[in-house]
Structure 1
Amino acid sequence: MKLDIEFAFEGFRILRKRPWAVAAWGVVFLLANLIGFGSFVPLALPALIQLFNSSGSAPDPAVIASLIAGLILPYIVLFIVMILAGAVVSCAVFRAALTDEKPGFGYLRLGGDEFRLILVHIIFSLMFVGFYLVCAIVGGILTFAFSQIDEDLAGLGVGLTILLGLGVMIWLMVRLSLFSVQSFDEKRINLFGSWKLTKGKAWTLFGGYLLAGILAVVVETIVMTVVWFVMAIVMFANMGAWQSIGNSATPDLTAILWVVGPMLAGYIAVFSLVAWPIMTAILVGAPAAAYRALSDRHPNTVEKIF
């Protein structure tokens, strides 16, 4: 079936058609960040304060060990929460792109589709770990072969491996890019279905994904510019507090957090509610729209973006 480069703009179609769904995705990301980053306060902050207050002397190994131990659980909590949030929102984007059903609360659910998507991502990650190992072996062979010709050519083997590996990796990612959305749509793990659908469409898909990535970066840059501008104003307004902290011989970490905390919270809130849901709609919506166009399971009756 014909694939138009317009699939790269699917995220904006969703944003225009279902703005409240995108807003709901922002709420999910905000809650995930509150839970994930919130776990750092009771679990890691005491060790951080102790380490900071002892920065003038030699670091205590026991304190460092306590800090590392205190960070393990928060990172695990953050990882699990963000994986779940990403799967929930990604499946919601798939539903928005593939169906005309009522969105409810942003097409959000937590069930078999979401856990299947997590499994798909695990499989995808393991595949590329295997690919990396193959590249490492090939790189070692090429480096050894070139070094036998001339020791100065050993670096050429490394360079060729990096270039070839990067090219093959991008090609594989494009060919397997519909793995997630197809497994979601068919409600089963379909590892090689994407390979069939993307046959002869690799360059169009690559161009569309590149365009979608650029659009996502533009969104992130705009939001980041606004956020940093506001943060600069807040920092200027709190100049007195910063000066008192800087003039202190032993700065108090609690005082620093009291000044930095609200800015960090605002940064996370804006990115969670605005940047991340829009970027997810763009980056996840693009392969969903490409799948919709290339598969025969969903008639391409969606209106044009432009």
Structure 2
Amino acid sequence: MAFPAMKAFRTTLAYLQRHAFDLLKALWLPAALLVALQAYAAPPFFNAFASMLGLGPNPDPAEAAAFLGEFAKWGAILSIGSAIIMPMMTVASLRHIVRGDEMKGFFYLQYGGDELRVLAAYILLSVMAMLISIVGGLAATALAFVFMLLGPAAKAAADGIGNLVVNVVVAWFRLRLSVLFPAAIATRTIGFGVSWEATKGSVGGLLGFWALVGLLLIPVAVLATLPFIGDFIPLFEHLMAAGSDEQAASAALIPIFQQFAKTFSIENPQFVFLAMALGLSSIVTTAITNVAAG
């Protein structure tokens, strides 16, 4: 039986409307923690990366090691913090759908078995998708090498077709596991087998359903970034103007990462508005995607 995309989409909208306040209670504190994490770790992370790029093609080893250490440190803080907060947000938005648990308080702050299983499921999904991309990319490269013997046009066509096939396979794989997190919470396992079985024969309908969900997310992303995008437009224009010149492109990336650091800094006069935009967009995006998956 085909997956009823429109019916599922209407059900998702109805649930979001009925339980908007419950979702807000469940998500506001984890979202605030996520914003605090980004405000703390993102500026030095971006500044360290910009500093590494500024060293040029032949950097001093000691200086490069120092900047690399800073980049790794703040990257680790962002990764570990996200590994704590993101599963918490996922579970907070899914417990009522999956188990019928009601929010009794005015915030959700918990990290237990459900969160650990969601984290494990996310890591497994990411690793498997990466492996598919790597293996598919190697196969596409080998195919392009064979077609190179027929001329540049044939190689370009083979490159395009190979990349398309890899992307389609990864998308199909992700659709088959699109209910992975609810399955992990419901079964108290990683949820891989349950999700794979539940989506069997439903990829076409799921594709249509998630396309509709994506239409809900587009205005959220636009509204969250629109007030701040003006500072980045001329910087990205310089990057595009660099073309295939690697040295010029690297130089053009430096002010982009510096601007990211400035934007996320609490010293930025617009930071209050950025924090509100990040927090609200995180709540809305998490609620929509997880309710849709549930």
Equivalent residue, structure 2, for 1:294: none
SS at match of 1:261: coil
The unaligned stretches of length 5 or more in structure 1 are 232-255, 289-306
Shift of 1:92: 1.2
1:145-294 pair list within 5 angstroms: 145-225=146-226, 227-228=227-228, 261-288=267-294
Equivalent residue, structure 2, for 1:27: 29
> Following the alignment from structure 2 to structure 1, what is the Cα–Cα distance between the partners of residues 121 and 219?
28
Are 1:33 and 1:268, in contact at CA under 8 Å, matched by a contact in 2?
A: no
> Following the alignment from structure 1 to structure 2, what is the Cα–Cα distance between the partners of residues 271 and 77?
22
Shift of 1:155: 1.8
Q: State the structure with bigger RCO (CA 8 A, min sep 6), 1 or 2.
A: 1
State, as a whole percentage, how many aligned pairs show the same letter.
Answer: 20
Between the two proteins, the alignment pairs up a number of residues equal to 255
> Following the alignment from structure 1 to structure 2, what is the Cα–Cα distance between the partners of residues 145 and 208?
38
**Equivalent position amino acid for 2:282 in 1:** W
Deviations 1:18-64 (A, max 9, x none): 415324413212223323532467x779x87xx7xx99xxx987555
> Following the alignment from structure 1 to structure 2, what is the Cα–Cα distance between the partners of residues 124 and 44?
26
Are 2:94 and 2:290, in contact at CA under 8 Å, matched by a contact in 1?
A: yes
Q: Flag the 1:65–1:285 CA change in 2: closer, same or farther, 3 A.
A: same
Equivalent residue, structure 1, for 2:258: none
Equivalent residue, structure 2, for 1:140: 141
Deviations 1:164-204 (A, max 9, x none): 11122211111121222212210012323222211222122
1:56-71 pair list within 5 angstroms: 65-71=65-71
Equivalent residue, structure 1, for 2:76: 76
Equivalent residue, structure 1, for 2:246: none
Are 1:142 and 1:157, in contact at CA under 8 Å, matched by a contact in 2?
A: yes
> Following the alignment from structure 1 to structure 2, what is the Cα–Cα distance between the partners of residues 265 and 122?
32
The unaligned stretches of length 5 or more in structure 2 are 232-261
Are 1:5 and 1:205, in contact at CA under 8 Å, matched by a contact in 2?
A: no
Shift of 1:83: 2.2
Deviations 1:68-102 (A, max 9, x none): 32232222111111221110010111113224332
**Equivalent position amino acid for 2:283 in 1:** P
- The normalised TM-score by structure 1 is 0.70
Larger Rg: 1
- The normalised TM-score by structure 2 is 0.73
Q: Flag the 1:185–1:159 CA change in 2: closer, same or farther, 3 A.
A: same
Are 1:37 and 1:74, in contact at CA under 8 Å, matched by a contact in 2?
A: no
